[in-house]
């Protein structure tokens, strides 16, 4: 794609690890730019590489818009996973309708089918197709579909729209403080070098967090593995599907360490803070402070909102 185009023009493409960071200049494009208050709001990704485009913006003068036109000059692209794409699309339209109605007088099409409600508000959602094809859907560099949103009226609150769209889940993903962390693995992405040492440090960190939330005394002085086991915690390297000896490697070349808890995680904030500071841990599967609202899609085809 972009790297192939660059190489065809004689421009060298280097792995990020071979470059001295921080970069002096990083250049990327934008499809719309809107100045609101003390920030610039961008529409990016109409070329299909949304997740790789959040660097800095370089734009043409015709990309500058105002609050009277923002979002109406072309598509607002969403990158969505292929699995359950139609359900995601319906949830996206329902979320957009809610945002627009919160900015408008009460009354309107909110109780309608999301498709009809969105259409009444001048909004449509179209799957992007490969250039020159009417039946082959475009797939991004990350293996996802691209859903292009079109607005006949300007987007009044791009911040809120982003927050609503980024948090859409299935009903079985909702848990309580009695079950959080126990319904499946909590994944950690860790570097391959020294993975075993990182794993031990991770278990030790978890034991410390749990013991701070429990009465004094317990297995803290034991070997981290035994101490964690006594507290109902295990850490298992993820393997490739269908293989018992080939470890899974992430897109970034890291191992995935799956953490399992028999008891609920009482303080996810503290756990994340401790784990992210373990040398060798790249990222945790705990996402905090991402949004103030989550749209929940139900098997009945309806949606509900979970707000702060």
- What pLDDT does 264 receive? 85
- What pLDDT does 60 receive? 55
Contacts of 231 (CB under 8 A, 6+ apart): 206, 207, 210, 218, 219, 263
- What pLDDT does 247 receive? 93
What string of pLDDT tens digits covers the 308 residues of the chain? 567 777 888 888 776 556 665 555 555 555 544 445 554 545 554 444 433 443 333 445 566 667 788 888 888 888 887 877 888 898 899 889 988 887 655 555 455 688 999 999 999 999 999 988 888 999 887 678 889 999 999 888 888 887 777 655 555 555 666 777 787 888 888 999 999 999 999 999 999 999 886 555 555 557 899 999 999 999 999 998 888 889 998 877 889 999 999 988 888 888 889 999 999 998 888 766 544 456 666 777 776 666 54
Delineate the domains of the chain, giving CATH numbers in brackets: 1-67+158-307 (3.30.70.260), 69-156 (3.30.70.260)
Residue 53 is among the residues annotated as catalytic for this protein: yes
- What pLDDT does 173 receive? 58
Q: Reduce the secondary structure of the chain to three states and give it as a string.
A: CHHHHHHHCCCCCCCHHHCCCCCCCCCEECCEEEEECCEEEEECCCCCCHHHCCCCEECCHHHECCCCCCCCCCCEEEEECCCCHHHHHHHHHHHHHHHHHHCCCCCCCCCCCHHHHHHHCCEEEEECECCCCCCCECECCCCCEEEEEEECCCCCCHHHHHHHHCCEEEHHHCCCCCCCCCCCCEEEEECCCCHHHHHHHHHHHHHHHHHHCCCCCCCCCCCHHHHHHHCCEEEEECECCCCCCCECECCCCCEEEEEEECCCCCCHHHHHHHHHCCCCEEEECCCCCCCCEEEEECCCCCEEEEEC
- What pLDDT does 71 receive? 83
What crossing angle do the helices spanning 268-276 and 195-212 adopt, rounded to 10°?
150
Strand, coil or helix: what is 116?
helix
- What pLDDT does 140 receive? 81
- Position of tokens 């969105």? 118
- What pLDDT does 268 receive? 83
Identify each DSSP E strand in 102-174 by its residue range: 123-127, 145-151, 168-170
Pull the structure tokens for residue 129.
């197709």
Q: Which of 18, 53, 115, 225 is catalytic?
A: 53
CA distance 185 to 175: 14
Pull the structure tokens for residue 275.
């784990």
């Amino acid at each position: 794609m972009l790297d192939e185009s660059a190489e065809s023009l004689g421009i060298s493409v280097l792995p990020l690890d071979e470059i001295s960071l921080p970069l002096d200049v990083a250049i990327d494009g934008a499809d719309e730019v809107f100045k609101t208050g003390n920030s610039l709001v961008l529409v990016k990704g109409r070329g299909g590489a949304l997740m790789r485009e959040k660097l800095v913006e370089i734009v043409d003068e015709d990309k500058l818009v105002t609050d009277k036109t923002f979002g109406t000059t072309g598509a607002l692209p969403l990158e969505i996973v292929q699995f359950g794409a139609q359900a995601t699309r319906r949830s996206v339209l329902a979320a957009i309708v809610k945002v627009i109605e919160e900015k408008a007088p009460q009354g309107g099409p909110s109780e309608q089918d999301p498709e009809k409600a969105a259409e009444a508000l001048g909004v449509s959602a179209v799957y992007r197709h490969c250039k020159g094809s009417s039946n082959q859907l475009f797939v991004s560099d990350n293996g996802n579909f691209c859903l292009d949103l079109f607005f006949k009226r300007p987007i009044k609150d791009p911040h809120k729209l982003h927050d609503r769209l980024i948090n859409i889940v299935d009903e079985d993903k909702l848990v309580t403080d009695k079950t959080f962390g126990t319904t499946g693995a909590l994944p950690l992405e860790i570097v391959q070098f020294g993975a075993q040492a990182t794993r031990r440090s991770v278990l030790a960190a978890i034991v410390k967090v749990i013991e701070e939330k429990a009465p004094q005394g317990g297995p803290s002085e034991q070997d981290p593995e035994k101490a964690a086991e006594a507290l109902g915690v295990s850490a298992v390297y993820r393997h490739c599907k269908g293989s018992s000896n080939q470890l899974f490697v992430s897109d970034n070349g890291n191992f995935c360490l799956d953490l399992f808890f028999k008891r609920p995680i009482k303080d996810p904030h503290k756990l994340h803070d401790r784990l992210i500071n373990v040398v060798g841990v790249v990222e945790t599967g705990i996402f905090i402070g991402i949004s103030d609202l989550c749209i929940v899609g139900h098997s009945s085809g309806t949606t509900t909102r979970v707000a702060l």
